[in-house]
């Protein structure tokens, strides 16, 4: 089973890297880009035989304890067979 975790800064949290990307795209002629936000994707390969419920609980725990800084970041994840 695979877990794909998407992490992004919460709304209202400054994103200087996203701003730099949006500004550079505008300078390159992509004027339609008003803003950009930078996030990260983490793929976790989980052991075979883990139930969907167990995987869900464990991945949520991993996100809360290590993968996402829940003060400034939000996360979502998908489980795939």
pLDDT single digits (tens) 22-42: 999 999 999 999 999 999 999
Q: Which uninterrupted H or E stretch holds 29?
A: none
Domain assignment of residue 60, given as a range? 2-80
Look at residue 6 in the predicted model and tell me its pLDDT: 98
Residue 81 pLDDT exceeds 90: no
Residue 12 pLDDT exceeds 90: yes
Q: What would the mean pLDDT of 41-56 be, rounded to a whole number?
A: 96
Q: Which of 18, 17, 4, 10 is nearest to 63 (CA)?
A: 4
The whole-model pTM stands at 0.88
The CATH number given to whatever domain includes residue 60 is 3.30.1280.10
Domain count, the chain: 1
Look at residue 62 in the predicted model and tell me its pLDDT: 98
HSE (CB half, 13 Å, CA atoms) of 78?
A: 5
């Amino acid at each position: 089973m695979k877990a794909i975790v998407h992490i992004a800064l919460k709304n209202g949290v400054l994103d200087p890297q996203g701003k730099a990307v949006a500004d550079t795209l505008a300078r390159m002629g992509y004027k339609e880009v008003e803003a950009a936000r930078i996030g990260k994707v983490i793929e976790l390969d989980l052991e075979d035989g883990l139930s969907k419920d167990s995987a869900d609980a464990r991945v949520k725990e991993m996100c809360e304890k290590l993968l996402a800084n829940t003060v400034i970041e939000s996360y979502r994840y998908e489980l795939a067979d």
